Amino acid sequence: MLFLLSRQAQRDYGWQASLMKFFYVYLIMSKRDQRIRYFGITRNLKSRMAKHNSGGCLHTAKFRPRRVEVAVAFRSEEKARAFERYLKTGSGREFSRRHF
């Protein structure tokens, strides 16, 4: 799925406007305990991380602060959601443990 930004948004965000066309599947880790990991999906990684680190997400509030370990960009929302679902399976968690 691809969306078009208004000319005003393109001026406001500059080159970063092109990054807003992607869906990001991300892995964040607690800075205090790197065994604590969380997978998610978002369109705006910067604002999503601010929400995680401010305690706005119940699943990640306990082990703050968090940092992004990996973010993978997809143009297709369907592919991004499928990859996120895979990473949350046993096989996907092992894959991420070995490679991320």
At 50-84, the pLDDT tens digits run 999 999 998 899 999 999 999 999 999 999 999 99
**Banded pLDDT at 21 (limits 50, 70, 90):** confident
Assigned token pair, 28: 């964040």
At 24-43, the pLDDT tens digits run 999 999 999 989 999 999 99
CATH for 22-99 is 3.40.1440
Assigned token pair, 33: 């305990």
Q: Which residues face 66 on adjacent strands? A: 30
Exposed / middle / buried, residue 30 (Cβ in 10 Å: 0-12, 13-18, 19+): middle
Q: Which has the closest alpha carbon to 40: 91, 96, 99, 98?
A: 96
